[in-house]
């Protein structure tokens, strides 16, 4: 009987080790809209509707790639990340600049409220759109680490995957100026093909 208990204990440990070793690989494989991202990045997939921003009326998923220093205030890549929104549009459904601006405001308003357990704050969003590409700024209070005012810069792109009838928005976000080297690292986060 002791022989079986020892084997069971060894097997349990082996399964736990294999699970721990391969969990980062499995979570990276879950991403459908990103094919490459920097080593040490963390990823997350959230289905729509997003609990903290339910008025974003998309029916798909959000995927996030956080650079390694995302929550480390002393790092140059602090609060630098990419996110994508994937949506299966209804026939002839188009989202313009105003709708995207409203979605982004709703997202950061809801995120702030969720992290601060109910406090209200209205982020200020400025956005420009040229040929389907977006640039802009989000002024808000960063609720995770510093809890201070922060200006995030972002770049975005919209892609229509006609074969699978999917709209994808890709955003790169950082508090760093667009000339900072962190943007090169963000741009190494590659969208996957449709």
Q: What is the pTM of this model?
A: 0.83
Q: Contact 158/180 with Cβ under 8 angstroms?
A: no
Dig out the tokens for 86 from the structure: 């994937």
Spatial CB neighbours of 8, under 8 Å, sequence gap ≥ 6:
none
Rounded CA gap, 67 and 15, in Å? 29
Bridge partners of 151, per DSSP, are 139
Rounded CA gap, 128 and 135, in Å? 5
pLDDT over 60 (residue 184):
yes
Bridge partners of 152, per DSSP, are 138
pLDDT over 90 (residue 86):
yes
R_g over Cα of the chain: 20
Q: How many CB atoms lie within 10 A of CB 15?
A: 10
pLDDT at 18: 30
Q: Contact 88/165 with Cβ under 8 angstroms?
A: yes
pLDDT over 70 (residue 193):
yes
CB under 8 A, 24+ apart: contacts of 38-46: 38/67, 38/68, 38/185, 38/188, 38/189, 40/67, 40/68, 41/65, 41/66, 41/67, 41/68, 41/189, 42/66, 42/68, 42/70
Spatial CB neighbours of 126, under 8 Å, sequence gap ≥ 6:
136, 137
pLDDT tens per residue, range 91-143:
767 788 999 999 999 999 999 999 999 999 999 999 999 887 999 999 999 99
pLDDT tens per residue, range 138-177:
999 999 999 999 999 999 999 989 899 899 999 999 999 9
Q: How confident is the model at residue 1 (pLDDT cuts 50, 70, 90)?
A: low
pLDDT at 30: 77
Helix (H) or strand (E) holding 114: helix 97-115
């Amino acid at each position: 009987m002791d022989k079986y208990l020892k084997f069971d204990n060894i097997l349990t440990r082996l399964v736990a080790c294999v699970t721990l070793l391969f969990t980062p690989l499995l979570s990276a494989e879950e991403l459908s809209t990103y094919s490459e991202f920097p080593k040490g990045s963390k990823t997350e997939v959230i289905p729509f509707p997003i609990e903290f921003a339910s008025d974003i009326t998309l029916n798909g998923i959000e995927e996030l790639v956080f650079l390694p220093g995302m929550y480390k205030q002393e790092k140059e890549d602090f609060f630098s990340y990419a996110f994508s929104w994937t949506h299966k549009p209804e026939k002839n459904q188009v989202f313009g600049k105003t709708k995207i601006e409203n979605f982004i405001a709703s997202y950061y308003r809801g995120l702030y409220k969720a992290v601060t357990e109910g406090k209200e704050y209205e982020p200020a969003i400025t956005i420009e759109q040229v040929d389907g590409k977006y640039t802009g700024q989000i002024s808000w209070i960063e609720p995770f680490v510093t809890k201070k005012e922060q200006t995030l810069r972002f770049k975005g792109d919209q892609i229509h995957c006609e074969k699978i009838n999917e709209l994808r928005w890709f955003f790169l976000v950082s508090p760093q100026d667009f000339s900072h080297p962190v943007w090169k690292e963000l741009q190494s986060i590659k969208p996957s093909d449709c």
